[in-house]
Amino acid sequence: MSGEWTRLSRRVSSCQPERPGALKKLDGIAADHLDVLHRTMREDPSAFGLYEATRAAGDRLAAHLSIDAPHVGTARFAARFTQTVGGEGGTIADAAVRRAAAATTRRPCSRIATASGHVALRDA
């Protein structure tokens, strides 16, 4: 599989954006990257650290949800949730987890905010 990544890297490097048809060529290269990414993940779910990052985020999520915080402002909730679930790892997979955690807080916070502007967290 590493040979395919090397081949794709060479294709990107050889692409000349000023040439006619370059955008179409880049679209094809991007599609090939996605194909190789999908196959890589099917063959080795631990590739790129995604499995480990999402598993660790799930553990942090479970710990966060067990924290008793009856009324926390939505901004504070979002920040704490993103920090706790997103973790502090330095990989691209860790950054993707943090971005997903931050995005996750936007919609639910707007739905469960009380009239006072606070998020009511309750034990299930």
Cα 94 to Cα 116: distance, rounded to the nearest angstrom? 34
* pLDDT digits 0-9 by tens, 7-64: 988 988 888 888 888 888 888 989 999 999 899 888 998 888 888 888 888 888 888 7
User: Would you kindly state where each structural domain of the chain is located, as residue ranges?
Assistant: 2-44, 48-120
Packing angle, helices 2-14 and 22-43, rounded to 10: 170
Residue owning tokens 């985020």: 57
Name the β-bridge partners of 120: 71
DSSP string, 82-99: HHHHH-S--SHHHHHHHH
